[in-house]
Amino acid sequence: FHSRLLQLFPKLKKFSSGMSEIGNGFYEIYLNDPRLVLSQFGDYLPKVTFDPELALTHPEALILDAGHPLVRKIIELVKAEFFSNKGMHGRNAYYFSETVESVIYQYNFLVRFTVGLKEKRVIEELVTLAIDSFSEKSISFENIQPSTTTRALDATELTEHLKDALANKSLDALIQQKIQDRKIKLIEERQELYKKILVDSMKTNQPAWLDDIIHLENAGYDLLTVTIIQPL
């Protein structure tokens, strides 16, 4: 999950802010947009990570997850601009790539799960889905890279692509499958983490709260952005 969350942060440059890697899975973040500056963190975060396991061994680092106030602020701004007429992130988002042979629709969703049986709480995850417009199947997007070109889509072409992306008949089934896959992965990660806790604590019995903490249920999702990837 933390790799998908990391994909959200290059958008900081749209808010006159940025992030730089400082090595070993850590980053520094500077914020120049007052909408992102939080009193408890200021405008400069010298050492942050998106990896919860790495944060366990480096208590001085700030862990950024989907529930962190800064992440929530960025998501709110991205979502607001996605639904505005002059948005920079969603409705006008496209690029050309030599690594694709057909138009690809890439979607970012904010997915919510409830955790627990008796006392439920909500957690949020960022999920990315890429669909080949020709085959209407989900594809891997990690290796898709933008290419340098002078070509551009005009407003009419971009609007038509966005309409097609949002009306794609495969979208609902594929996002539901993506959410289910992420749910299973979350449960597995939690099981492994707490198994490690049990080993480290030298206990042999499973704590009663473990059954509660690995019980996840779907609680809905919001579309944040759509990117049109054009073959070059």
Per-residue pLDDT tens digits for 26-72 = 999 999 998 899 888 899 999 998 887 787 788 888 888 777 888 88
- Helix, strand, or coil (residue 131): strand
Q: Are the C-beta atoms of 22 and 28 separated by less than 8 Å?
A: yes
C-alpha 117/C-alpha 27 separation (Å) is 36
C-alpha 229/C-alpha 190 separation (Å) is 34
Each as own residue / partner, the long-range contacts of residues 142-147 (CB below 8 Å, 24 or more positions apart, any chain) are: 143/99, 144/97, 144/99, 144/100, 144/104, 144/106, 144/229, 145/97, 145/98, 145/99, 146/95, 146/96, 146/97, 147/95, 147/96, 147/97, 147/98, 147/99, 147/232
- Helix, strand, or coil (residue 126): strand
| Per-residue pLDDT at 90 exceeds 50 | no
**What does the CA dihedral 117, 119, 124, 130 come to, rounded to 10 degrees?**
20
* More confident call, 61 vs 89: 61
| Range of lowest pLDDT (8-12, 88-92, 123-127, 143-147) | 88-92
Q: Are the C-beta atoms of 147 and 96 separated by less than 8 Å?
A: yes
pLDDT in tens, 153-191: 888 888 899 889 989 888 999 999 999 999 998 888 877
* More confident call, 104 vs 68: 104
The residue count for the chain: 232
| Per-residue pLDDT at 3 exceeds 90 | no
pLDDT band for 229, please (50, 70, 90 cuts): very high
* More confident call, 10 vs 95: 95
What pLDDT shows up at residue 79? 66
CA atoms within 13 A on the CB side of 144: 24
Written as six digits, the tokens of 8 are: 């959200």
What pLDDT shows up at residue 88? 39
> Is this structure's pTM higher than 0.85?
no
